[in-house]
Amino acid sequence: MTHESVALLERRCFAVPELVRGLDVDRLRPVATTLQYASTICVTGIGASEGPARLLASRLSGPHRQAQFIPLSGLLAGDHRAMTEGRHASRLVVFSQALSPNAQMALEAGEDFTTTILVCGPDVPIEEKPPSRGLQRLMVIRHPPEGEAGFLLRVTGPAVASAVALALATLSTTEQRPAEIGEHLKKCADAMERRLGRPIRDVDLIERPPAFLVYGLDGAELSHLLRWTLLECLDMHDPSVWDVLSFAHGPFQSIFDGSRTLILPRAANDAAIETLRGRLVDMLRQTRHSLMDVSSELPRPWSTLEHLAAVHALVMEHLRKHPRDLGTWPGKGCDGPLYGLDRLP
């Protein structure tokens, strides 16, 4: 019997495509302009918000702009100051759906930047601040859903934040207009709906724990949220992320005698990966591993949204086979010493 919390999670997963389709890209223009004229951009996020943060950082770097993901611990250590010192157009982008205590600490570090941009849910009680004496500028991007509390595993907010990250990066680094980017998002939403409707059979993530095989300069960044979603779903296994070529240089040997589900997220227009995929299939014939080839009909980086929908489908299938109360999890309430840190020491 499906637990009521699993049924709620399924409704949240199926709500994502329509929320992506309904994003108002035009509202991102002021922030996109601010990023466009930045010399240095630091992007941060923690937990499931780290995925969209890494996604944005990977898309923003250019010949006249340095963009980098920096973990919250890096802000705590002051590692960002080497990037911002003496620069008059530095930006900090903070992703946090519910403005966690750690993310509040990141906003404190925003004093070292000329502008801080917070990407958060609609119910976070914070207001934009124009620049004034002693205060830096704060801009806020709000995205749905209204609330997603109760579970460690969040699916809706991080997915929509990823769509915001892709739209914002495209608006900041290309000549595409909001209407064109909106069309990209509609295609993504359509592909996500089709992916959620596909049945998944013969996959058991307990018997065959998952790992991701990625490729390209941004493969690990595009797949970060995919991995994190399964980490929070499984409670007992952190999926590895390996470059598909590097897989033959240690990981393959280390799991040779095991039984794993190897997930290959790829974009359909990446012809080079097809050769690698064929060789990978040949190599895996010697093992008990199964390959889950997730070929998106979308180009990179938009394909990551369809890949995320595939992971959501995998999560739902796993929880149907192994139902549990998602309102409780190992270590619940025991993470306060680090999770509750909200001010720079």
pLDDT tens per residue, range 39-49: 999 999 999 99
Sign of CA dihedral 156, 159, 164, 165: positive
Whole-number mean pLDDT of the chain?
A: 94
Structural contact between residues 304 and 315, judged by C-beta atoms closer than 8 angstroms: no
Dist CA 57 CA 60 (whole Å): 5
Tell me the per-residue pLDDT of 288-315, one tens digit each, with 9 for 90 and over.
999 999 999 999 999 999 999 999 999 9
Task: Give the residue range(s) of CATH 3.40.50.10490 domains in the chain.
Answer: 4-193, 210-321
CA-closest candidate to residue 310, choices 103, 155, 88:
155
CA-closest candidate to residue 116, choices 88, 133, 143, 91:
91
Dist CA 30 CA 27 (whole Å): 7
Is residue 1 over pLDDT 60? no
CATH topology of domain 210-321: Rossmann fold (3.40.50)
Interacting residues of 338 by C-beta distance below 8 A, sequence separation 6+: 102
Q: For position 3, what pLDDT does the model report?
A: 86
Residue type, 312: H
Token look-up 């929509």 returns 160
Tell me the per-residue pLDDT of 203-262, one tens digit each, with 9 for 90 and over.
999 999 999 999 998 999 999 999 999 999 998 899 999 999 999 999 999 999 999 999
Q: For position 131, what pLDDT does the model report?
A: 66
Dist CA 2 CA 24 (whole Å): 35
Structural contact between residues 142 and 136, judged by C-beta atoms closer than 8 angstroms: no
Q: For position 128, what pLDDT does the model report?
A: 83
Cis omega (within 30 of 0) on the bond before 158? Answer: no
Dist CA 69 CA 45 (whole Å): 9
Is residue 62 over pLDDT 80? no
Q: For position 40, what pLDDT does the model report?
A: 93
Structural contact between residues 80 and 244, judged by C-beta atoms closer than 8 angstroms: no
Tell me the per-residue pLDDT of 89-143, one tens digit each, with 9 for 90 and over.
899 999 999 999 999 999 998 889 999 999 999 999 998 877 654 457 999 999 9
Structural contact between residues 215 and 243, judged by C-beta atoms closer than 8 angstroms: yes
Check whether domain 4-193 has CATH 3.30.1370.100, yes or no: no
Dist CA 153 CA 127 (whole Å): 27
Q: What percent of the chain has pLDDT over 70?
A: 97
State the virtual CA torsion across 121, 158, 300, 217 in degrees, nearest 10.
110
Residue type, 216: G
SS3 category, 198: coil
